[in-house]
Amino acid sequence: MAYDDKIADIRRVLEQVDEEIESTNTDAVRYVCVPFAQIMDHPPAKYAIKGMLYFDSLVHIFGEPESCKSLIALEMALSIANGRLWRGRRTKQCQVVYIAGEGQRGLGNRARAWCQETGGGVEHICMLDRAASLIDSTHAAAVREAIKAWRNPELPLVIIVDTLARNFGSGDENSTQDMTLFVANLDYYLRSVFEACVVLIHHSGHADKTRGRGNSALKGAVDTEFSVAKMGAKFVLKCSKMKDFPRPDDMAFLVRGVTIEGILDEDGEPITAPVLDGAPPPPVTYIAPVSDTDCEAIGRIFDSIHARQQENLHSIEESNAYGKNRVALQDVKNAFFSTLPPNTPRSTLRSRWKRAAENPLFPLTIKGIYCKRCDVANV
């Protein structure tokens, strides 16, 4: 009986420990089910720049070095801080925190040049004193506290992180785990606390210039994404993702040097800084949607050519010599190209054919196997 009593005592202690652990976990982590009627009653999203930047969101702007991505972001920031139109779009005056990983002096000169050109001021914009390791929750929390100490809570907030790489810390941009942690810290310590619009300035990929460098988890996490690319003398801003609103049209800029009044360099010579001028965007190249309908069109063309080929074969010998079950894909390709608008660039023609050929439906559509070696389909 003494043994059974000891076992019973141990079980009671373990049950008590389980209850305490469960109570602790319940107090630490709580979830609430929100009726969908309340979700539907949420007020519309508020903009920092209408049609471009919205509060309580994460924005990604990427481009190659010297593509003017930082200059565009700074002009946005100064326009927002002054409540001035940005390139014809309304803004909501708010405070801006600029977290610059490099080039603080250069940003100061650019701000001087912008203010000189527009008559604006810098009352509602500040800069963090150094780069922040935002992958580290301790550093992210310290940035939050620095912002709290400076900001006026009556005004909304935009936070610009320039660049992602210089404020990423010791993590690996290519790691899903590190990128997810970085985004989570931005969400928890900056975006959600202040309901801020957090703008990330980032470099484009090494091999693929049409996406940001590093892990693709970033694009999946952001609400809005823009790319900046140099096209001749112009710099073109293009929206590649806009989660909840229509994508804005492409915008183009020219860079102009401005001599800053009232300051000279150490040799007594004037200092210049760049500002942006608007420019007409480059002409839009017609690119029709590439989808399964291309495969369906190719399938109909294939069937037509194959049927016509069989009608023109007059004997079994001729059929065997030609190969009645083989259709040259060049014939299909040419016929497919003829269905597209006559002004479609050759690069677009090739791209649409290639993408259709890579579509999983392609071999099913032509009812055979695409043999690259002989460029035929075997039916």
* Average pLDDT for 181-205: 96
Percent of the chain with pLDDT over 70: 75
> Is 2 inside a domain boundary?
no
> Is 14 inside a domain boundary?
no
* Average pLDDT for 4-25: 62
* Model pLDDT, residue 7: 60
What number of helices (H) and strands (E) belong to the chain?
13, 14
> What's this model's pTM, rounded to 2 decimal places?
0.69
Q: What is the DSSP string of 151-195?
A: --TTS-EEEEEE-TGGGSTTS-TT-HHHHHHHHHHIIIIIIHHHT
Q: Which of 279, 310, 340 is the last residue of a domain?
A: 279
The answer on 169 and 75 residing in a single domain is yes
Whether residue 252 has pLDDT greater than 80: yes
The answer on 191 and 262 residing in a single domain is yes
The answer on 213 and 68 residing in a single domain is yes
Q: Which of 255, 279, 303 is the last residue of a domain?
A: 279
* Model pLDDT, residue 369: 45
CATH code, 80: 3.40.50.300
The answer on 311 and 252 residing in a single domain is no
> Is 309 inside a domain boundary?
yes
Q: Phi first, then psi: give them for residue 326, nearest 5 degrees.
A: -125, 130
The answer on 372 and 227 residing in a single domain is no
> Is 263 inside a domain boundary?
yes
Spell out the residues 6+ positions from residue 342 whose beta carbon is closer than 8 angstroms to its own.
none
What separation in angstroms does the CA of 127 have from each of 43, 189, 192, 342? 31, 17, 20, 53
Mean pLDDT over all residues of the chain? 83
Spell out the residues 6+ positions from residue 72 whose beta carbon is closer than 8 angstroms to its own.
61, 228, 235, 237, 253, 276
The answer on 197 and 53 residing in a single domain is yes
When pLDDT is cut at 50, 70 and 90, the band that residue 320 belongs to is very low
The answer on 235 and 153 residing in a single domain is yes
The string of pLDDT tens digits covering residues 257-288 is: 999 999 999 999 999 999 999 998 766 543 33
Whether residue 326 has pLDDT greater than 50: yes
* Model pLDDT, residue 322: 43
Domain extent, residue 80, equals 47-279
CA nearest to 302, candidates 339, 341, 324, 333: 333
Rounded distance between C-alpha atoms, residue 296 and residue 359, angstroms:
11
* Model pLDDT, residue 49: 97
Degrees, nearest 5: CA angle 160-166-167 = 55
Percent of the chain with pLDDT over 90: 59
> Is 10 inside a domain boundary?
no
> Is 364 inside a domain boundary?
yes
When pLDDT is cut at 50, 70 and 90, the band that residue 141 belongs to is very high
Residue bearing the bigger pLDDT, 192 or 314: 192
The answer on 185 and 101 residing in a single domain is yes
**Range with the largest mean pLDDT of 8-12, 71-75, 99-103:** 71-75
